[in-house]
């Protein structure tokens, strides 16, 4: 039986960051296990782009410090790898007073502005008329508040994950793909991991397996981890708007008509724009493959895109699904599982977790090594449910 100091299960955003940060500890023997192939699209760490921002209106204030630390780590990773995968074009929030993203407060926009002021994050609040001058593709909707963060960026999750895994292996970490974890067995001071390939023993286990984490929590907690299918779409841009969208960063809209939350990001393919929506209608059972039909794309354009954004054709170039794992309060779970020995779960980060993954990975390394963490994780105990 092969023995390791730490085994990380699941190599999406959280797992890749944890493995990389742990690999910097030269005296630790590290293994990462992934049940799918490298760069797979079965979870929630794919889709070409993610938004990273620093002033966070979700939660109770702890997320902003996590996001700020992630920015510092992101700069370090780019410097060490020589690869730039964050495109800083700024982020616009355009919200009414009633709407909030899941995990956000009723005063999400005001809370975001308050956090920006508290932590001296560069930001701007535009006069209403100026918003529509600067962003001419927006359909004018009087009475919406706004917030612009110049330092926010779009980042390729695939590039970020691959780069961290590459750095981790260069540091000596081992990675096994196409290997599913079947069970964890608690020993006196270690944990036995049984997989479809072998058995391993580890002093510490970090579970970052996304939707599949419900296979490992105690029965009383299985109901708090819900998995939902989310759908993302790339629509074609009218030729006269291509340059405008190409130069514009991501933006989030609180649609006052449908009372829904829309995020819009530039695509790495000119002539396309990516759209996403938070929907919690279709649960994922870990077995079936989610599908998107033509009716979905037609409804998305008619009900969400056309009423809010100009310059977009009613032509969907491609669409993909991703799997959200959420908790009842839409906040994270980062905690030890008491029924195992030295097993930490990092879960339910879908929807607003990628930007925090870099600092959370560092926190996992600090935890394993007995160091004081640079971010606060006390709010994410599983026992709050």
- Whether residues 240 and 374 share a domain: the answer is no
**Rounded Cα–Cα distance for residues 334 and 353 (Å):** 12
pLDDT in tens, 59-98: 878 899 999 999 999 999 999 999 998 888 999 999 876 6
* Structure-token pair, residue 138: 């927006």
Q: What is the CATH number of the domain that holds 266?
A: 3.30.9.10
- Whether residues 239 and 122 share a domain: the answer is yes
Domain edge (last residue) among 281, 305, 326: 326
Angle, alpha carbons 249-254-258 (nearest 5°): 130
What is the rounded end-to-end Cα distance, in angstroms, of the chain? 37
**Range 125-141 average pLDDT:** 94
- Whether residues 146 and 278 share a domain: the answer is yes
Question: Do 235 and 327 contact (CB within 8 A), yes or no?
Answer: no
- Whether residues 125 and 245 share a domain: the answer is yes
Domain edge (last residue) among 282, 303, 326: 326
Whole-number percent of the chain with pLDDT over 70: 96
pLDDT in tens, 42-63: 999 999 999 999 999 988 788 9
- Whether residues 312 and 164 share a domain: the answer is no
Q: Read off the pTM.
A: 0.95
Domain that holds residue 90: 50-155+226-326
Confidence tier at 6 by pLDDT (50, 70, 90): very high
- Whether residues 321 and 233 share a domain: the answer is yes
Please tell me the predicted confidence (pLDDT) of residue 101.
59
Domain edge (last residue) among 305, 326, 347: 326
* Structure-token pair, residue 199: 């058995």
Sorted by sequence, the CB contacts under 8 Å of residue 40 that are 6+ apart come out as 34, 46
Question: Do 169 and 161 contact (CB within 8 A), yes or no?
Answer: no
- Whether residues 304 and 237 share a domain: the answer is yes
- Is the backbone of residue 143 left (phi > 0), alpha (psi -120 to 50) or beta? left
Count of structural domains within the chain: 2
pLDDT in tens, 172-205: 999 999 999 999 999 999 999 999 999 999 999 9
- Whether residues 127 and 70 share a domain: the answer is yes
């Amino acid at each position: 039986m092969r023995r390791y100091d730490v085994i990380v299960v699941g190599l999406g955003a959280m797992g890749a960051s944890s493995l990389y940060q742990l690999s910097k500890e030269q005296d630790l023997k590290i293994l990462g296990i992934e049940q799918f192939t490298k760069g797979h699209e079965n979870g929630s760490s794919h889709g070409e782009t993610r938004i990273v921002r620093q002033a966070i209106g979700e939660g109770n204030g702890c997320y902003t410090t996590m996001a700020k630390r992630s920015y510092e780590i992101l700069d370090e990773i780019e410097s060490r790898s020589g690869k730039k995968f964050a495109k800083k074009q700024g982020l616009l929030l355009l919200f009414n007073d009633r709407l909030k993203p899941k995990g956000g407060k009723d005063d999400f926009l005001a809370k975001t502005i308050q956090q920006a002021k508290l932590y001296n994050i560069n930001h701007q609040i535009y006069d209403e008329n100026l918003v529509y001058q600067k962003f001419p593709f927006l359909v004018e909707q009087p009475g919406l508040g706004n917030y612009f963060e110049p330092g926010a960026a779009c980042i390729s999750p695939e590039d970020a994950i691959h780069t961290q895994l590459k750095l981790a292996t260069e540091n000596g970490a081992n990675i096994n793909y196409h290997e599913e974890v079947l069970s964890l067995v608690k020993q006196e001071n270690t944990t036995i991991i049984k997989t479809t390939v072998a058995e391993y023993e580890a002093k510490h286990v970090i579970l970052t397996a996304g939707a599949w984490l419900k296979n490992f929590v105690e029965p009383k907690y299985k109901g708090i981890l819900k998995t939902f299918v989310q759908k993302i779409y790339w629509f074609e841009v009218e030729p006269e708007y291509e340059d405008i969208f190409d130069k514009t960063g991501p933006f989030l809209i609180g649609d006052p008509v449908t009372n829904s939350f829309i995020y819009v990001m530039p695509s790495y393919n000119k002539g396309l724009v990516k759209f996403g929506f938070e929907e919690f209608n279709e649960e994922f059972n870990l077995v079936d493959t989610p599908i998107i039909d033509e009716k979905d794309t037609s409804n998305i354009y008619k009900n969400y895109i056309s009423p809010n954004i100009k310059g977009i054709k009613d032509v969907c170039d491609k669409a993909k699904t991703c799997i959200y794992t959420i908790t009842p309060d839409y906040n994270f779970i980062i905690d030890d599982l008491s029924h195992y020995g030295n097993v930490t779960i990092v879960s339910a980060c879908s929807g607003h977790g990628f930007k925090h993954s870099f600092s959370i990975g560092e926190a996992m390394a600090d935890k394993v090594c007995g160091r004081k963490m640079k971010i606060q994780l006390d709010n994410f105990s599983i026992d709050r449910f």
